Each structure stands twice: as C-alpha cells, then as structure tokens.
Amino acid sequence: MELKFSPLAYVPFVSVENMIRLVKSIGAETFMCELADEIEKDFKRWPLFDKTPRVASHSDVGVIELMPTSDGEMYGFKYVNGHPKNTREGLQTVTAFGLLADVDSGYPKLLTEMTLLTALRTAATSALVGRHLAPKGAKTMAMIGNGAQSEFQCLAFKAVCGIENVRLYDIDPAATAKCAANLAAADVNVVSCKSAQEAMEGAEIITTCTADKQYATILTDNMVGDGVHINAIGGDCPGKTEVAEAVLRRSDIFVEYPPQTRVEGDIQQLPEDHPVTELWQVMRGQARGRTHDRQITFFDSVGFAIEDFSALKYVLTKIEGTAFMDQLDMLADPEDPRNLYGMLD
C-alpha cells in the first residue's frame, strides 16, 4: 500500500551533499561575508532573543551539547559534539545538525546538517568581531592550530577584514601542510612556520584554534605584544584553555554571552567579577571596542546559539526555490488532528 502525506508533513532537509552544493554555488567567501552580516543584524537585536548557556553533557573524552534560542517568531537549536580524540580514530572532532521552527505553530521549517555550517558560521563570527576590534588596516594573521577550522578562519578574515597574509603553525606538520595546500588557490600569501612564536611575527591578528581538552597555554605573556587582536576560539568547555592568564589581564576582553563564556572560555581562569564587554553592545554602539593603537583586544569565542540561529535563517532563505534540499516526510499530519491513531488504520 502506498502511503500519501499532506504537504504539511514535509520539512525541507539540507544534507551534507546539498550543503556543499549550496556553498559552492554561492562561493565560500561570499557565503561567510553574507552570513557575518546576518549574524551582526541578529546581535543588534540581542534583547529580543531567549538566551541560555548551552545544555552540555560532559564525559572524560568530550562533550555533547544542545544550543537553543528564539526571537519570538522562530525557534532554533543545534546539536553539536566536541570529541578531540576522534581524529585519532578517523572521526570528526565536531559534528552537528540543526533545526529551525515556527514559534506560532511549533512546526519545523528546516532540518539541516551543521558540521560544515558550524565551521562557516564560526569563521564568519570571528571575522565579524575582527571587523569591529582588529587594528585598522591589519593585513597579517597568525593561524595557530591548523585543523578542520583553520582554512575557514583564514578565508573569512580575508573576505571580511582584508587579510592578505596568513602565517600557519600546528604541532602536527601534516596539519599545516594540509591547510597550506587547501589555501593554495586562494588569493592570500601563506607562510608555514615551525613554532607559534614564528607564526606571530608581524601578525596584527592572532587566531588560536587548538582541540585538546586541557588547560593549555598556546600563547604566553612574552609572546604577545601591544596593539594586536586575539581571536581565541579553541577554549570552549570547562577545563579547556589556550591563553596564559597574564595575557588576559593585559587585554580588553569581549565575549558573546558572559554566563556561558565564564564557564567555558579562557576567562574561566579569571575571577567571576573580572570585567568583560558583550559584543552585541559594541555592535549597537552602546560600548566601546578598539580605542587606541596599543590596546590588546581579546575575543574569548565559545560559540553561542544566536550565531547558529542566524546561520539557519540564512540557509533557509538561500534554499528557497532551489534543488539544494530534499523534502522529508517528518511530521505526522492526519486528516483529523484529533485522530493520530487513525494513521495506523
């Protein structure tokens, strides 16, 4: 017997294959530029959103998290994991999927892969913050940690902030070689370095993106000169840091959502009352960002649900009227809403 479903039963689904096709049709750099603009628009209406730290289930080897938010009209969430040991087993450190729903009815509007999309939105967010906080006219970035996120970060800073030179370092030379090879076709000058210190030579922007779940010190106090912007994205859960406390104390620190960042970010090393500035306030002109040439600005990035919400909305607008999606019969929709059991008859 062939089962027939009403149109209300179907939800647009973007598979990994279709996400790749969508990004390639737009262009990765254009995709991240447009997504950065969408994230900024949502940050500027920050007070409208429901906000809560992500719901995390930690284990000895990693974390599984749910990241929900709503602007009152749409509701979105992302499922995401972080398991640094996965790469040794041939698996991704991070995998994710997400859903966007209509608040008025509760019906889903979009289901999509978010492993690739998270990489794009993380880089878009970093570059967006760089647009507000990096030294004016910055042309060189150090990329310390050359894993799955590194190419996205380099391309986003190139597209959004005008970076022309990237200096790469990873404790695994194969990771640096991979990143350099992937960036070979990009219009950016790539230098592979043998140490983090070497990578930072002449860099006005320093991005750290390491994966090990430990209290690490990728940047020591003597490595960081005045006037730089630090984009620290590797510390994203309790017990995981990248930057020496002394660097933090010399910096003006900017965060997405303090209740989450104080638990998960590099500032977990600092007292609860250590001053930080929320990025949405900078973007709305309610707080100051970079104020002088010798200032060290520090973005303690942990990722927040509103960024994923922006990414989900962006994808939904981009797939309308295209073949970059499938329709999933995901919802039970009986002719009589009170007779769900009747669907079994």
Instruction: List, by residue number, the catalytic residues.
Output: 236
Closest CA to 207 of 159, 160, 251, 151: 151
Q: What Å distances lie between residue 337 and 4, 103, 196, 331, 334, CA to CA?
A: 16, 19, 61, 12, 6
Specify the DSSP class assigned to residue 86: G
Longest dimension (CA), the chain: 73
Provide DSSP, 7-61.
GGGEEEEE-HHHHHHHHHHH-HHHHHHHHHHHHHHHHTTGGGS-----EEEE-SS
Q: Report the first-to-last Cα separation within the chain, whole angstroms.
A: 12
Closest CA to 147 of 201, 213, 226, 209: 209
C-alpha–C-alpha distance, residues 324 and 21, integer Å: 7
What is the identity of the amino acid at 254?
F
Specify the DSSP class assigned to residue 159: H
Q: What Å distances lie between residue 116 and 31, 107, 194, 201, CA to CA?
A: 12, 25, 29, 31
CB-based contact 227:296 (threshold 8 Å): yes
C-alpha–C-alpha distance, residues 309 and 259, integer Å: 19
